[in-house]
Chain A
Amino acid sequence: MSTVESRLLTGGEAVAHALCQIQPDVVPVYPITPQTPIIQTFSSLVADGAAHTEIVNVESEHSAMSAAIGAALAGARTATATSSQGLALMAEVVYIAASMRAPLTMAVGNRALSGPINIHCDHSDSMLVRDSGVVQLFAENAQEAYDLMVMAPRIAEHPAVSLPVLVCQDGFTITHAAEPVCMLEDAEVRAFVGEYRPALRSLLATESPASHGPFAMPDYYFEFRRAQAAALEAAAEVIAGVADDFASLAGRANHGVEPYRLDGAETVLIALGSTAGTVKDVIDELREDGERTGLLKIRSFRPFPAQAVRELAGGARHVVVLDRADSPGGAPPLAADVAFALADCDATLRSHVYGLGGRDLHPEAIRQIFHGVAPRYVGVRGEPCPV
């Protein structure tokens, strides 16, 4: 087990250090707040020779993901990072990276989508690529951001998966806030991620050529999409296995879900990202007051842990889902997945949208949510409270 002391690192720095230890071959990247500390820290580390990575400072995020596909298919372990508008701009290529089964990793500093333009945290950028077929893991804090980044290459590169893996952390709240982070030793990380052995034949293997990225008519397209869905489903088990291996090494488990004080919980709150940490504090206070409540934190948003949600929350009386993204005119994304998972269960479902554009969610608001007296859009001025 690792004996490295903890360092004070922001989530952005933690991910940059994880990347440095992973030693990716190629990192094509374009700057955007709040991902910038990730790439700036990483660039400094590379400039000092701590990692020998080909950093390609591309001219847009669309090109970052495009170059990443090229590199990944050419036999290079590849990573990139982005946020918000950058993720939106590269969305076309994110779908393609998934369909081309490129096993790359991407650090996301979750930030609100324009407009208005806003640089602070919410999950709308991740939700924009919700259906793209990539794996999306959410960190609660800088430690988890580091851990998930170290785990990501093994998940992405597993032959049953071979998909892009996004490691998401809340913009500013995690990317820019310093916390104690326990890092593994360099050699431990190298041994953990291993050699890059992609399932796809390399573009540079000219003696055995293949054509990648075909055109498919209605007679084949559907089968390709079905195969992709199967890969994402297979990722759930792979994530569990990698999390177990990581736990053996680091003593910390980062599975698809984290149950927090769910024993006997009548009301279960469900959340993604840093807010889970605030919810845990409120859960502790409510438990002190005798309330039977707990948190089901989701780490793996895609693949969605439907079975775990059913098992851990299906028996509760009330399930309350906190979404840091909205789907105007429809169900917010996390609530939709939870509702689908709990369709045959008796629990009532409440859905709240909070924190868009970096609006903080305070413990008092979470108490109101728990007591059922918070409006659907929590913390918005002028929003009527339920009777």
Chain B
Amino acid sequence: MSRLKTLVEKRHGVDPLRGGHALCQGCGIPMVVRVVLGTITRPTVVVNATGCLEVATTRFPTTAWNVPWVHVAFENAAAVASGIEAAQRALVRRESLPSVDDVAIVVFAGDGGTYDIGMQALSGALERGHRFLFVCYDNEAYMNTGVQRSGATPFAADTTTSPVGLESFGKAQKRKDMTAIAVAHHVPYVAQAASTYWHDLSLKVERAAAADGAAFVNVLTDCPLGWGHEPHLAPHVIAAAVETRFWPLYDVVDGRYRLTYEPLHPLPVERWLEGQKRFAHLLRPENARLVEVIQQNVDRDWAELRRRCGDDEKGALS
């Protein structure tokens, strides 16, 4: 049976995240949630950091969640998950639960709650090796509070706290490589994925859920409002990120890098920039130099990634 049909069947008619929430028209996040929770076969508890997903789905007295769900604060989702995971082990020992595999623990956090304010708790949880999956829906800014720059915001992007102006071209810093930071914690499974490359994402979630320890999956997720594009064009925008190699798709299994998708005909980075209002200023002639810098960064990062994957390994998915 096809993977997509399997995702459907697993629901038993009940969506883990149902309609009626207040996420924007065309928001990219629910698809990520659907693929992640649809792929994991065990019953799941969701820990959600403060952010778009959390706020828009649980305004009292509503909830859009059909799975156990908990939100505590912005920076501590990984710590909350650590506590739940320890509780599971304790209850198994007390014989209140049959097995530690009984319930899968999944964290959903935006890039703010992962790269910046959430980084400490995430680092601690990864270092301690709790058995859980941390999924970052990375839309590259603090979207819920009005599109402020985060450590995940790309170089030269226009945000409300790194605005383009007469004396500014947008964010002056490169974005953090959070995926690499996760890899540095020596956890069994780390992956970089993209929301609309759902088959690749689902395979990665499957591997992550089977990992005997902590897993981190960083999912590029579009935000029509924050990025400045028509909602229905999301698949094209995300595709541009991947096909220009701005956002490579790969995973790292016990420290071994593996590319999971290689664009046959890599596109120039302009294809990624041109579809989004947050990069519109870069297409002006006077900013050509910035586009060159972005292309050089993409090329250099790609070469480094290839080096880590082993030059001759294409890492085709089974």
A→B interface (CB under 8 Å): 25-26, 28, 52-54, 56-60, 62-64, 66-76, 78, 92-93, 96, 100, 202-207, 209-217, 220
Cα distance, A62 to B47, chains bound together (Å): 16
Closest-by-CB residue of B relative to A205 is B68
A93 with B120: CB separation less than 8 A: no
Nearest B residue to A202 by beta-carbon distance? B68
- With A58-B124, A69-B80 known to touch, is A215 a contact of B102 (CB < 8 Å)? no
A57 to B264 CA separation, bound complex (whole angstroms): 47
Q: Which residues of B contact A52 (CB under 8 A)?
A: 90, 93
The reply to whether A220 and B70 contact each other, CB–CB distance below 8 Å, is no
Q: Which of B47, B68, B84, B94 contacts A71 (CB 8 A)?
A: B84
The smallest C-beta distance from B119 to any residue of chain A, in angstroms, reads 11
Residue B89, interface by CB 8 Å: yes
Judged by a CB distance under 8 angstroms, whether B205 is at the interface is no
Q: Which residues of B contact A60 (CB under 8 A)?
A: 120-121, 124
Q: 27 interchain pairs (CB within 8 A)?
A: A25-B91, A26-B86, A28-B82, A28-B86, A60-B121, A62-B121, A63-B120, A63-B121, A63-B124, A66-B72, A66-B83, A67-B80, A70-B84, A70-B87, A74-B84, A93-B76, A96-B73, A100-B72, A203-B70, A204-B103, A205-B68, A206-B68, A209-B66, A209-B68, A211-B63, A213-B58, A214-B63
A70 adjacent to B70 (CB under 8 Å) = yes
Q: Is the CB of B69 within 8 A of A76?
A: no
User: B23 on the interface (CB 8 Å rule)?
Assistant: no
A66 to B120, CA, bound (A): 12
**Which residue of B43, B75, B79, B91 is within 8 Å of A58 (Cβ)?**
B79
State whether B103 touches A214 (Cβ < 8 A): no
Given A210-B68, A213-B70, A214-B60, verify A204-B90 contact (CB < 8 Å). no
A215 close to B76 (CB less than 8 A): no
Contact check, B72 vs A204: say whether CB atoms are below 8 A apart: no
A204 touching B73, Cβ below 8 Å? no
Inter-subunit contact B84/A214 (CB<8 Å): no
The closest CB in chain B to the CB of A53 belongs to B90
B68 touching A57, Cβ below 8 Å:
no
Q: Are B86 and A71 touching (Cβ within 8 A)?
A: yes
Indicate whether A66 sits within 8 Å of B79 (C-beta atoms), given known contacts A59-B127, A96-B72.
yes
Which residue of chain A has its CB nearest to the CB of B97? A204
The answer to whether A56 and B67 have CB atoms under 8 Å apart is no
A88 smallest CB distance to B (angstroms): 15
Identify the closest chain B residue to A77 (Cβ): B90
Answer yes or no: B20 CB below 8 A from chain A CBs: no
Q: Which residue on A lies nearest to B70, using beta carbons?
A: A212
Minimum CB–CB distance from A360 to chain B (whole Å) comes to 37
The CA-CA distance from A192 to B72 in the complex, in Å, is 31
**Which of A26, A66, A92 is the one whose CB lies under 8 Å from B87?**
A26
The answer to whether residues A57 and B71 also contact, given A66-B76, A76-B91 and a CB cut-off of 8 A, is no
B79 and A204 form a contact (CB under 8 A): no
At the interface, yes or no: B298 with Cβ under 8 Å from chain A? no
Query: Is B59 on the interface with A (CB-CB < 8 A)?
Result: yes
Q: How far apart are the CA atoms of A93 and B90 in the complex, in Å?
A: 23
A76-B96 Cα distance, complex, nearest whole Å: 10
Chain A residue nearest in CB terms to B44: A206
Interface digits, B18-33 against A, CB 8 Å rule (1 contact, 0 not)?
0000000000000000
- Tell yes or no: B295 within 8 A of A by CB: no
CB distance from A64 to the nearest CB of B (A): 8
Expressed in whole angstroms, the minimum distance between the Cβ of B17 and any Cβ of chain A is 11
Alpha-carbon distance A212/B69, docked complex (angstroms): 6
In the complex the two chains form, is A204's CB within 8 Å of B83's CB?
Answer: no
Mark B112-141 against chain A: 1 for CB-CB distance below 8 A, else 0. Answer: 000000001101100110000000000000
